[in-house]
Amino acid sequence: MPVYNKLVRDNIPQIIEGTGKSYTAKVLSDEDYIKYLKLKSYEELDEYCAAETNEEAVEELADLLEIVRALAGYHRSSMEEVEKIRRGKAEKRGGFEEKVFLVEVED
């Protein structure tokens, strides 16, 4: 029996049941929830970095966004607030569209 010990999407237990398999799961404490959300963000980022096609990359980006949404909720915020802050930072400091790579700054 494979052991996963990881945070999964809410419907995964029902999907497993639908295959006729049994599983063991639990509801995490708030402390463990944020710990495993952070770990899940690394897992999803690794999967994005390993993506070999645009379709795979976009699929993994969607997973990353779901993690960001959950993290925002944990911190009593929303995607709208995160987006508002992102826009403000982009206005002040720019985005990453111009592909600028800073090599060094002379003192």
**What DSSP string describes 13-70?**
HHHHHHTT------PPPHHHHHHHHHHHHHHHHHHHHH--SHHHHHHHHHHHHHHHHH
Average pLDDT over residues 87-94: 98
Contact between residue 40 and residue 6 where contact means Cβ atoms under 8 Å apart: yes
pLDDT, residue 1, reads: 79
Average pLDDT over residues 43-71: 98
pLDDT, residue 64, reads: 98
Q: What is the rounded average pLDDT for all residues in the chain? A: 97
pLDDT, residue 32, reads: 98
Average pLDDT over residues 52-75: 98
Average pLDDT over residues 80-98: 98
Average pLDDT over residues 97-103: 96
Average pLDDT over residues 51-67: 98
Confidence of residue 67 (pLDDT cuts 50, 70, 90): very high
Contact between residue 19 and residue 56 where contact means Cβ atoms under 8 Å apart: no
pLDDT at 89 over 90: yes
- DSSP symbol at 91: H
pTM, rounded to two decimals: 0.89
